[in-house]
Structure 1
Amino acid sequence: MQTTDFEQVNETVYHEALQNGLQVYLVPKQGFSKTYAVFTTRYGSIDSHFRTRSGEEINVPDGIAHFLEHKMFEKKERDVMHEFSKNGASCNAFTSFNRTAYLFSCTDKLDDNLNLLLDYVQDPYFTDASVEKEKGIIGQEITMYEDNPDWKVYMNLLKAMYQKYPINIEIAGTIETISHITKENLYQCYETFYHPANMLLLVVGSFEPEAIMKLIRENQGAKEFPPAPQITRVFPEEPSEPAEAKVEAFLTVGLPKCMIGIKEKENGLTKEALLKRELTTKLVLDIAFGTSSAVYERLYDSELITESFDFDYSSEQDYAYTIIGGDTPDPERLVETIKAEIEQLKQTGIAQEDFERAKRKKIGNFLRSLNSVEFIANQFTSFKFNGNDLFSVVPTLESITREDVEKRLKEHFLAEQMAVSIVRSSSPQE
């Protein structure tokens, strides 16, 4: 077991790669009452087209990763959620574009809950009847999301930004696509993507690292796994420009919802370069539109935005994008104002004091976040899957200069890379 000390944030990470390929990370937090464990596979909604070891290309229905996540809780003669509940634990799972995670939190019986997590995720049980039943359940979930204005404005923005890359496809799929899912599909995807060599286990909280690592070794050592499959994902080549400049949808909302997306023009960065780009972009956003910025104050005082106004930058190796927006009485004016403010900032440049303030704020917020085992549990794996360490954020932030931020402002915040998604209550013709 290897240990890595991150002295700036006073954290130690214990790591071991097991013989079956599973990557295990332990982050002890002495004095904390709650412990989290997250068992994650590098498999999400975008992974519907892949090539097997034999070279055969396989296309599975959209939404199958999310469907598989649901089915993992169903067993022949046991109720996984009830067992966690009996152990005093809260369990959950989620599927994103590029990963599926199974997790629990507890204040007691960590050993029992950790064995339960590993055992149920590594014991698939699918039947034709249960798969058909699940289609109805997930179909209701899909319908619910179709009527959710916040989800609609977000997914429509991704569809406006991305022409071919499957991030523009609903994570849960559609009622039509999930109707084609079979038990055989599920086993095929499970056997491809749920091998330990494609997975990561994180435990963070109050525990003794040696004892927990021993438990994990013994649990995995008692199981037999086939050789790790070679996973070759097949993705279409994505053009750099957005698919559409503007998309609109009509649902019942109090105020229109408006999101502006900025599609990353070039991708392919990895490790430290990827992390630095993400943090630099987030600094630009905070300087330009954070609650302490002059722009935010003007927008809020003019009632063009509400407290729902927010921004974020999502960064992965193959795709990345900025989102800015929220509820507004005048989406078109908000879009034009945001664009104008970006161009103005490019002309005037970023003041050193604004840069220093944003950087101090970002570092302070991050350090406070490390007091939350939930934050670490939710963030650690995504950093690792991109070849980075969550605890490297502070030194990376400290290395960023004002010149880095100004360069990022000019290279990413481009009008031709923007797309807009709006959800209103009624169309102009009504």
Structure 2
Amino acid sequence: MSRQATPVICLVEDDPIMGESLCDRFQLEGMAFDWHQTAAGAMVAISSHPYALVISDIRLPDIEGGEMYLQLRAAHRALPPFIFITGYGAIDRAVELLKAGAADYITKPFDLEQLIEKVKSLTSAFAPPAGGQKLGVSQAMRKIEDMLPRLAQHASTILISGESGVGKEHVAQALDRLARKSEKCPFVPVNCGAVTESLFEAELFGYEKGAFTGAARTKKGFFEQADCGTLFLDEISELPASMQVKLLRAIQERRIVRVGGETPIALDLRLYCATNRDLKEMVELGQFREDLFYRINVIQLRIPPLRERKEDILWFARIFLDEFSAKHGGGRRALSQRAEQAFLEYPWPGNIRELRHAIERSCIVSTDTTLGPEAFFGDGLTPWTPPAADGNLSAYLQECERKYIEQALVLNKNHIAHTAESLGISRKNLWEKMRKLGIAGEQG
């Protein structure tokens, strides 16, 4: 079995009988592994190999297992999950290590079947998928990841739907990585809500020199820039009505004409579109062309909100903690158990984007290495108190959205443009939401 195709386990165990027993079982399970009998040797290996999991005894002959873990955490931006093996006398130490970020511990004498189940769970969740960076560890996101290779090879037009902040652009980038023919093929993202309507045609299709006042030179538009690669149209619902028919024609004919030009330009590209709105409802309301909807909706991927895939919350949180601890200094940070519980209970109306912003902010303003729930609130923000559960899901989600937008406005000092950018929506969309939710605001 190829080690490149199999998650590799690092076992750190000085007891030869215990080590041989575990290695024999790993071999029976078809698991790839390395066995180290000293912490020093293990630290060198862990620093240079992409292990999927480390299983370590706490009591080691040279360096205590927990100290080994803490030294590795201080030295490296990202580590594989750790399972510690401990005797009953060292349970307190194991609990300390859990608080510091370890994945789990198991006490001697332990049920080997129980350990194997833990190993399978952690290695399946952290093994890198074909095509690159993971989208999550939840079953929902793993199902989506399983679909991506086939979609990337056979679908040139895909619609990605989901709430703001769920990671639609990351899904588009994953599809692009799997589909691209060479590293030179570009990925061109366009936020349709951020382009001025009067300039949309020129930005999308390009223009010839002299096509209009200020057109001092010929310029390629987004379509031409994405030739042989991927054009990603985010917030496709914000596309002006005047542009919808022109986009439809470009998709159908796979060619464009620059503004002020006459010669059609043939293109070979993939078109991925994304929306946080119900396009079918917009069609029924006459706000989106039906023929364009069916043209871009050949394949639709729905990305579930973070509240529907709670397994991803702490996984993303740890990634962001590592990223922003390294970026802003102050040492490696971890969430307290109270913070983890609060994260799991909070509905995250802004999804991954909100989670990322909350963690970056806490890494900037807090000097603590272990962050409690209070580290994620301040400057006018108040701890989250969910609305009463009266059975009305729509009202509950609206209240969550209202709270999130109000907090984003506070963080951005009520500047509408900056708030819209941080939320990943257009200013028009933000104003519509504010009016609908009864949030006061001033133009900015």
> TM exceeds 0.5?
no
Q: Give the structure with higher Rg (CA).
A: 2
Task: Name whichever structure is richer in helix by fraction.
Answer: 2
TM-score (ref. length: structure 1): 0.24
